[in-house]
Amino acid sequence: MGRRSAKPLNAKVAANWMQRLARLAFEWLRSMPMDRIGREAVLAVPTPIWTAKPETARRVRRNIRPKLQWCQAHGLVQFNAAGEAIDGALPAMPAVKSHVRSLPYREVCAALYTNEASGAWQTAKLALRLRSETC
């Protein structure tokens, strides 16, 4: 697998990334010297949320991995404990649920009228309203 070129993160992505790491990993990372971070320590971060919040768990692990890779490259750790070696130790991810089909164009007006006639809150109705000349 080739190395991707590093693109600068936009501010929103960077803020979300830092917030996720702070919430899930920084307390753990601060409490351990880098050379003491092993397989068990790396697994302790994503495992509790691995099946409940799989995308968040994958992102957290994906964010920890390059930090330990940098430490390995600079001689601070012997191996990257967040590397591929722990893939088998993590539980299987839940299957992705099937997505809801899109509404065919010819059915949009009927759906909008049904939405307006429903007892839903006004904010929910407004969230689904589309500007259409034909409806």
Q: pLDDT truncated to tens, each residue of the chain (135 aa)?
A: 444 555 666 778 777 767 776 666 666 666 778 778 888 888 887 888 888 888 888 887 887 888 888 888 989 888 888 887 777 788 777 777 777 788 888 888 888 889 889 888 888 888 877 555 566
Domain range holding 65?
11-89
Tally of structural domains, the chain: 2
Query: Are 69 and 15 part of one and the same domain?
Result: yes
CA distance 69 to 124: 46
Query: Are 22 and 73 part of one and the same domain?
Result: yes
80 CB burial (10 A radius; 0-12, 13-18, 19+): buried
